[in-house]
Amino acid sequence: MDLSYDFYINAPIEKVWETLVSDEGVQQTFYGCTIRSSFIPGETISYIGPGNDGEETVHVYGKILTCNPLEKLSFTEHPGPSYNQDHANLETRITYTLTTVGNCTKLTLINDLWSQEHPSYKSTKDHWPMILSNIKTFTETGKQLDFGF
């Protein structure tokens, strides 16, 4: 059930990292959300933006597990409260790893530790390729992909 993706981005690691952790990068690549986190292990991380609860909808939240700048970011992930009443018990783990390959950056995403019958699995599986494609496009060109929604 693990979700695993590798994307090769024609940009240095520093630029890819900035896309993943900056408000501007996240806003351009995660459906208009901003990211709120100190990136200190044990502290919180939230993706917040337009949605069910207005402009401040918590889409996902969790705790930072590992943050090695320019190398690895790992955190627990729960769906936001407006998406599932049992949100606190629905936890997965997201890990981004960056490595240099020639003049490119290899971005590996692993989204694992899914419980059986997790209600967000299918939609997450469908959305990760879109989000990662948007990260690649934005980092390389400064433009977003238009998915029509």
pLDDT in tens, 4-22: 999 999 999 999 999 999 9
How far is Cα 47 from Cα 23, in angstroms, rounded to an integer? 10
Give pLDDT tens digits for 123-145. 999 999 999 999 999 999 999 98
Q: Cβ atoms within 10 A of the Cβ of 149, count? A: 4
- Please, what are the domains in the chain? 3-141 (3.30.530.20)
Provide the whole-model pTM.
0.93
* 45-52 contacts, C-beta under 8 A, 24 or more apart: 45/75, 51/80, 51/82, 52/80, 52/82, 52/83
DSSP one-letter code for 78? E
